[in-house]
Amino acid sequence: LSILGNPLSPEVNQGPQIDKEQYDKILALIESGKKEGAKLECGGGPGGDRGFFIQPTVFSDVTDDMRIAKEEIFGPVQQIMKFKTIEEVIKRANNTHYGLAAAVFTKDIDKALTFAAALQAGTVWVNCYSAVSAQSPFGGFKMSGNGRELGEYGLHEYTEVKTVTIKIPQKNS
């Protein structure tokens, strides 16, 4: 159950989109999913009559060539895609320009570790999603982000490495 509202309220578990541009982008991607043949299981529209809220949306029968499978949505949209082997999943998941984050839900820890190691994503969650901490670096691969935030690696964004080489004159020269 999704409770829309002020994200600072403890009972709320879904806030609004950041601005109208992002709101419109997500709704356009939802419409593209419908037009391209994905099956809308739930949601698919604005969430309420005020603000930039969007209903939690789930699509099934999603194929790799659909926009909702290829683009970063950054909104409450879930795509369900069928697969046969973990190798197929890894190949398909890596066949993108993006690699910010991914999640795998499984009871088999060996499969989860295989997936996490092979996936070209900056963060991989196992049996959870969007769990972040200040100590864990966050950032993507490929076109998803530039560098890392948080953790020790996040501090490197504020530094520049420089090499200075000096030839020291020898005595009596």
Residues 6+ apart with CB under 8 A from 103: 124, 125, 126, 128, 129
Could you state, in order of their start, the residue ranges of all structural domains in the chain?
A: 1-82, 84-168
**pLDDT digits 0-9 by tens, 44-62:** 999 877 899 999 999 999 9
Given a contact cutoff of 8 angstroms between Cβ atoms, the answer to whether 40 and 57 are in contact is yes
CA dihedral 118, 98, 137, 111 (to 10 degrees): -30
Report residue 1 CA to chain centroid gap. 22
State yes or no: pLDDT of 24 exceeds 90.
yes
The closest alpha carbon to 30, from 15, 46, 16, belongs to: 46
This prediction has a pTM of 0.76
**CATH architecture of structural domain 1-82:** 3-Layer(aba) Sandwich (3.40)
Identical fold for domains 1-82 and 84-168, yes or no, is yes
Given a contact cutoff of 8 angstroms between Cβ atoms, the answer to whether 97 and 143 are in contact is yes
**pLDDT digits 0-9 by tens, 105-145:** 999 999 999 999 998 888 888 998 877 777 777 776 777 77
- pLDDT value for 173: 62
CA dihedral 1, 40, 91, 106 (to 10 degrees): 30
Assign domain 84-168 to a CATH class. Answer: alpha beta
